[in-house]
Amino acid sequence: MYKVPCANCDKTYVGGTGRKFGVRLQKHRTEVETKTTRTFTRSQRASSLSEHNKSALTDHAAHKNHDQLVHSDGDRQGAGAIFQVDQRGST
């Protein structure tokens, strides 16, 4: 489990992954950049707001025009692992 606070407001995204946190955070960044850097006409923008993305974090970024997952200085500002669970099990 991990959390990523929005750099533009007080919202925090909580998610789970089997990947390393840094890898997952980069995937989120890539998706957010893809969605928020496109140029739209008004009708295209309205249509894009009805799309559901791969994560609620990307939906938030696209709908609120919050294009930064971390502050501009690169500091994660509270983003990171909450806890880890060993998924391998024991025998």
Question: How many residues are there in the chain?
Answer: 91
**How many Å apart are CA 19 and CA 22, to the nearest integer?**
8
* pLDDT of amino acid 6: 85
* pLDDT of amino acid 91: 43
Sign of CA dihedral 1, 60, 24, 7: negative
Half-sphere exposure of 44 (CA within 13 A, CB side): 6
Beta-carbon contacts of 49 under 8 Å, excluding residues fewer than 6 positions away, are 62, 63
Beta bridge partners of 3: 14, 80
* pLDDT of amino acid 72: 44
Beta bridge partners of 78: none
Please check the confidence at residue 73 and state whether its pLDDT lies above 50: no
pTM as predicted: 0.65
